[in-house]
Chains A and B, each alone.
Chain A
């Protein structure tokens, strides 16, 4: 079946611009996660949705980052006033339920480059 889909796969933007990254989770998965991965590092947690609401947004680095999931399916990660330090691969994952028992299914990520 279809896995987690992320678009675009690559995004190059100039410093100071606004970007949106989209995630289509696996159908029926209620939980959705955003992680960020820098080169040579493991994924770093950003935010977790259960249904439409953000259950844990403690990983968002600052108020330039915001994520929504208005209908409990597709999610958009929004970054305002991008900085060069925001350059990374942004990974989305979904799971059937809470993370304690359900493995995460990751997409292939959006590679964001801020010039």
Chain B
């Protein structure tokens, strides 16, 4: 079965630095990967989507890369701010158009001022 693996250890960085979060998938290449942000007590909020034929996607201070050889996506936040502190979730979608996104367990980012 498909598994999505994210670093369960919290990532602590200093304000202004670039945060890099990792998402690995085990078996099947996704049609695309989605990244979500989740704050405590809230539902996930969509950030970015990257398709299987795309190498990189950017949105403001966010950048997602996708390497099908490594079966890995990297999520970068440049010029990080304390307000970026949250849990970031990676989600895998297969080729069939269903509602089944498979989520990783999330990585908690803490940006210190």
Contact = CB atoms under 8 A, between A and B. Distances in A.
Interface in A19-54: 31, 33, 35, 40-45, 47-49
Interface string B29-69: 00110100000011111100100000000000000000000
B100 A106 contact: no
Contacts of A103: 34, 46, 49
A-side interface size class:
20 to 34
Interface residues of B, number: 27
A42 B37 CA distance: 11
Contacts, number: 70
A93 interface: yes
A40 B99 contact: no
Interface stretch (A55-63, A69-77, A79-87): A55-63
B4 interface: yes
B100 A48 contact: yes
Contact of A48 (B46, B89, B99): B99
Contacts of B44: 43, 91, 104, 106
Given A99-B93, A100-B93, A107 B101 contact: no
Nearest to A109: B43
B43 A56 contact: no
Contact of B97 (A33, A35, A42, A100): A100
